[in-house]
Structure 1
Amino acid sequence: MDFTISPRVEDFRARIARFVADDILPVEAQPEAWDAHGNIAHDWMVPLREKARDEGLWCLQLKSETGGQGLGRVGMAVCYEEMNRSIFGPVIFNAAAPDDGNMMVLEQAGTPEQKERWLDPIVRGDARSSFVMTEPHPGGGSDPGMMITTAKKKGDSYVIRGRKWFITGAADADHFILLARTSDDPRRGLTAFLHHRDEPGWRIDRRIPIMGPEEHGGHCELVYEDMELPADRIIMGEGMGLKITQMRLGTARLTHCMRWLGLAKRCTEIAQEYAANRHGFGVRLSDRESIQIKMGDLAMGIEIGRLLVMKAAWALDQGRFAKKEVSMAKIHVANLLHKAADVAIQINGARGYSQDTVLEWIYRYARQARLVDGADEVHQMVLNRHLGEEGRDFWTWDVENI
C-alpha cells in the first residue's frame, strides 16, 4: 500500500499551510473580523479570497476546465485538512459547504448551459448557493424517500409547493438546488431543480437559531408556494433527484470529515501550547501523566480518522460510491471532533471555556457534526446493512491487478 502523496499535492498543501498561518490566522485573531453569527465578516473575507485566487489556491476540488486545480479526492483530503486549521479557512479557498458540494455536483451533472448560468458564478466567487432537501416532519430528512414537497407538471413547466428547513446558507444564497417529488416511484420519484433567489413563488420563513456558530447564510426554513420553473431547470432529467442526492452527499460527507480533521488538529495545537507553559503545584501540565494520556489518545484518534478519510477518498477516486468507507469516516471523525474540543477545553480550564481561544467555538460547532449529512445512527445502520449482505467479505482487501 502506498501512503505517499504526489509532489504536486504536497506543494498545494505547503502553500495552503503558509497562507493560513500568515494571512488567515491573524485575521481570525481580530474580534472586528467576525460577523454576528460567528463567521468571518464579508469585508474581511473578500480580500483574502482574492489573494487565494491570485495565488492559485482556489477551487482545488474542480477540474481545470471548470476553473479548479483537479486535485481529486485524495488531494482534497490533504489540502482541506490544512485549510481548516483556521475556522475561517475553507470559505477563503472556496471550499466551504454548501458551495463545495454544489459546485462538484453541477460540474458532474449539469449541462453546458446550466454550468454557464448556475455553476460559473459560484466558481468565480460572485454567487453563493444552497442545497434544498431537508423537510420538517413528516417530510424527508435522512431518508429522502419521505419527501413531500411536490413539483407538478404544468405544460412545459413545473409548479413547486412545500416547506423545507435547516437549509444551510439559504439567507446568503443566489443559486439553489431544490429537491421535489415528481412521482410516487420509489427510485425515480424525486427531481432536482435549479432556481434563483429573485424568482417569485418562494420565501425564507425564518433563519433558525442554533446552538453553534453558523456558515454564511445560516440554516433557514423555506416555503414554496406555487413556484413555477421551466423544464430546463431540471438537472439530469426528471426522476433523477435521488441520483443527484447520492452524487452530492457521498463526497460532501467526506469533505466535512476532511475539514473537521483540521479543526481537531487545531484543538490539539492549542492544548499542547497551553500544557507546555502552564504550571500547577510545582509541575508543568504537559509533564503530568494524565495530560500525556489524553493527548496521546487524541493524536491516535486523529490519525485513525485521517486513514479512514484517505481510504474513502481513494475509493471515490477509483470511481466507487464508497458508502461503507464514507460512513465509517463520518461516524469516527464527527465524534473525534467533539472529543478533541472537549479534551482541549479541559486542559485549558477556564481559558478554554472562554472566548480567548476558538475552542468554545469549535465545541459548539462540533455537536452538529454528529447530525449533519446523516446522524451517527443512520450511518451505523448503513454499515450493518453492508455487514449483513457481505458477511466476512465486509473486510476484504483489494488485490492489485498485475
Structure 2
Amino acid sequence: MDFKLGPEHESLRTAIRGFVEERVIPLEGDSANYDEHENIRLDVLETLRQEVRTAGLWAPQMPVNRGGQGLSMIGMAACYEEMGRSIFGPICFNAAAPDDGNMILLQKIAREDQQKRWLQPIIDGEVRSAFAMTEPMPGAGSDPTLMKTTAVRDGKRWIVKGRKWFITGAGVAQHFILIAKTSDDPRKGLTAFLFDRDEPGWEIVRRIPIMGPEEHGGHCELLFDGLEIPDDNRLMGIGDGLKVTQIRLGTARLTHCMRWLGMARRAMEIATTYVEKRESFGQRLADRESIQNLLGSAAMQIEIGRLLTMKAAWKLDQGDFARKEVSMAKIQVADALHQAVDTAIQLCGARGYSKDTPLEWMYRYARQARLVDGASEVHRMVLSRFLMQEGTDFWGWQ
C-alpha cells in the first residue's frame, strides 16, 4: 500500500495550496468581499477565477482536452482538500457543488453533442448548473423511488409536471439536470433530462431560507407545469434515471468529503495557532492536557476521514462504484468536520464564536454535512446491507 502522491499530483496540490494561502484566504477577513448570502462576492470571484486560469489550475477534475487538468480521483482528493481550506476556495477553481458533480456526471455519460451543448459551458465557467431531484414530502428524497414529478412522452418531446425543492444553485443555474418519473417500474421508472433555464413551463417558487451560509444560487423550490423537453435532451436511456442518480451522487458525496476535510484542517489550524500563544493562569493552553485531548481527538478523526476518502477515491479510479467506501467516508468526514469546527470554537472562546475568524461560518455550514447527499442514517443502513450480504468479506483487502 503506497500512500505517496505521484509527482504530477503533488505538484498540482502544492500549487493549489499556495494559491489558496496567498490569494484566497486573505479575502475572508474583509466583509466587503462577501455577498448578501455570505458567500464570495461575484466580481471578486471572477477576478480570482481569471487568476486561477492563468496559473493553469482551472477545473482540475475535467479532461485536458476540455480545458481541465485531467486529475484522477486520487489526485482530486489531495487537491480538493487544499481548496477546501478556504471557505471561498473550491468555487475559485470551478470545483464546487453542484457544478462539480454535474460536470463529472456529464463527462461520464452524456453524448458528445450533449457535452458540447451542456457540459462545456459549465467547464468554461460561462454558466452555472443544478441537479433537480429532491422533492417535498411525500416525494423523493434519499429514496428516489418515491418520485412524484412526472415526464409524459408526447411524440418527440416530454411534458414535465411536478415540484422540486432544496435544489442547490437553482437561483443562478442556466443548465439543469432533471430526474422525473416516466413509468411505475420500481427500478426503471425514472429518466434523466437536460433543460435550459430560459425554457417556458417552469418557475422558481422561492429561494428557501436556510441557516446559511449559502452556495451561489441558494436552495430553491421549483414548480413544473408543462415544461417541454425534446427527447434529444434525454440523458442515457428511458428508465436509466436511477442509474444516472447513482453515478452522480457516488462521486459527488466523495468530493464533498474532500472539500470538508480541507475545512476541518483549517479549523484545526486556527485553533492550534491560538492555543500555542494564549496563556491562562500561568500556562499556555497548548500545554494543558485537557486541550491536548481535544486537539488529538479531532486530528485523529480527520485523518481517519482522509484515509477512508482516499480508499474510496482509489476504488473509483479502478472502475468500482465504491458504494460501501463512499458511505463510510461520508459518515466519518461529516462527523469529523463538525467535531473539528466545534473544538476550534471551544478553544478560541469568544473569538471563535465571533466573526473575527471564519469558524462560526464553518460551524453553520458544517451542520448540513450530515444531511446533504444522503443523511448519515441512510449511509449506515447501506453499510448494514453490505455487511449482511458480504459477511466476513466486508473487511476484505481486495
What TM-score bracket applies, with the shorter chain setting the length?
A: over 0.9
- Check whether the contact 1:66–1:107 (CA below 8 A) recurs between aligned residues: no
**Superposition deviation, residue 66 in structure 1:** 2.2
The residue number in structure 2 matching 1:118 is 118
Counterparts of 1:336 and 1:132 in 2: how far apart (Å)?
28
Letter in 1 for 2:224: Y
State the distance in 1 between where 2:336 and 2:209 align: 25
Aligned residues of 1:59 and 1:93 also touching (Cα < 8 A): yes
Per the alignment, residue 351 of structure 1 pairs with 351
- SS of 1:174's equivalent in the other structure is strand
Please report how far the alpha carbon of residue 45 of structure 1 lies from its aligned counterpart in structure 2 after TM superposition.
Answer: 0.1
Which residue does the alignment assign to 1:35? 35
Describe the SS at the equivalent of 2:56: coil
Deviations 1:19-45 (A, max 9, x none): 001111112222100011110000100
Report deviation, 1:248: 0.4
Partner in structure 2 of residue 238 of structure 1: 238
Which residue is 1:65 aligned to? 65
1:362 alignment counterpart: 362
Match in the other structure for 2:290: 290
SS at match of 2:191: strand
232-241 or 373-382: which moved more?
Answer: 232-241
CA apart distance, 1:14: 0.4
Question: Hey, what does 1:247 align to over in structure 2?
Answer: 247
TM-score w.r.t. length of structure 1? 0.98
**Aligned equivalent of 2:266:** 266
1:35-184 matches, cutoff 5 A: 35-184=35-184
Alpha-carbon separation, structure 1, partners of 2:107 and 2:65? 10
| Unaligned stretches of 5+ residues in structure 2 | none
Secondary structure in structure 1 of the residue aligned to 2:101: helix
2:197 matched to 1:217? no
- Residue 160 of structure 1 contacts residue 228 of structure 1 at CA under 8 Å; is this kept in 2? yes
Question: For the Cα contact (< 8 Å) 2:171–2:218, is it kept in 1?
Answer: yes
One-letter amino acid of the counterpart of residue 128, structure 1? R
Separation of aligned partners in 2, 1:109 and 1:150 = 22
**Alignment root-mean-square deviation, CA:** 0.7
* Aligned-partner residue type, residue 51 of structure 1: E
In the alignment, the residues of structure 1 paired with residue 227 and residue 9 of structure 2 have an alpha-carbon distance, to the nearest angstrom, of 44
State the alpha-carbon separation in 2 of the partners of residues 351 and 26 from structure 1.
18
Structure 1: runs of 5+ lacking an equivalent: none
Q: Which amino acid aligns with 1:213?
A: P
SS of the equivalent of 1:237 reads coil
* Secondary structure class of the residue paired with 1:56: coil
Letter of the 2:87 counterpart? I
CA distance in 2, matches of 1:4, 1:72: 14
Q: Distance in 1 between matches of 2:62 and 2:241?
A: 22
Report the 3-state secondary structure (helix = DSSP H, G, I; strand = E; otherwise coil) of the residue aligned with 1:96. Answer: coil
User: Across the two proteins, how many residue pairs are aligned to each other?
Assistant: 398
Deviation at 1:317, TM superposition (A): 0.2
CA distance in 2, matches of 1:66, 1:246: 24
Shift of 1:155: 1.3
Q: Residue 240 of structure 1: CA displacement? A: 1.0
Q: Counterpart of 1:320?
A: 320
Q: Which residue matches 1:276? A: 276
Would the aligned equivalents of 1:140 and 1:148 in 2 still touch at CA under 8 Å?
yes
* Whole-angstrom CA distance in 1 between matches of 2:284 and 2:79: 34
Q: Whole-Å Cα distance in 2 between the matches of residues 239 and 295 of structure 1? A: 49
Is the 2:28–2:358 Cα contact (8 Å) retained in structure 1? no
| Distance across 2 between alignment mates of 1:366 and 1:264 | 9
Do residues 192 (structure 1) and 173 (structure 2) align?
Answer: no
The question of whether the paired residues in 1 share the 8 Å contact of 2:208 and 2:218 is answered with yes
CA contact (8 A) 1:345 1:353 kept: yes
User: Is the partner of 1:153 in helix, strand or coil?
Assistant: strand
- The alignment partner of 1:171 has SS state of coil
Q: What CA deviation, in whole Å up to 9, does each residue of 1:146-191 have, x standing for no partner?
A: 1010000111110000000000000010100000001111111111
Query: Would the aligned equivalents of 1:77 and 1:258 in 2 still touch at CA under 8 Å?
Result: yes
For 1:397, the equivalent position in structure 2 comes to: 397
User: What is the CA-CA distance between 1:206 and the residue it aligns to?
Assistant: 0.5
Cα distance in 1, alignment partners of residues 67 and 16 from structure 2: 18
Q: Over residues 304-338 of structure 1, what are the superposed CA-to-partner deviations in whole Å (9 max), with x where a residue is unaligned? A: 11000000000000000000100000000001111
Question: Is the 8 Å Cα contact of residues 29 and 356 (structure 2) preserved in structure 1?
Answer: no
Q: The residue matched to 2:171 in structure 1 has which SS?
A: helix
- Quote the Cα distance in structure 2 between the aligned partners of 1:281 and 1:297: 24
Distance 1:42 1:60 in 2: 21
Once the two structures are TM-superposed, the CA of residue 3 in structure 1 deviates from its matched residue by 0.9
SS at match of 2:235: coil
CA displacement, residues 124-148 of structure 1 (integer Å, 9 cap, x when unaligned) = 1000000000000110000001101
Residue 87 of structure 1 and its aligned partner are, at CA, apart by 0.4
Given that residues 189 and 241 in structure 1 are in contact (C-alpha distance below 8 angstroms), is that contact kept between their aligned partners in structure 2?
yes
Cα distance per residue 1:62-106 (max 9 Å; x no partner) = 111222111110000000000111000000000000000000111
Partner-residue secondary structure (3-state), 2:52 = helix
Q: TM-score, normalised by structure 2?
A: 0.99
Counterpart mapping for 1:13-24 below 5 A? 13-24=13-24
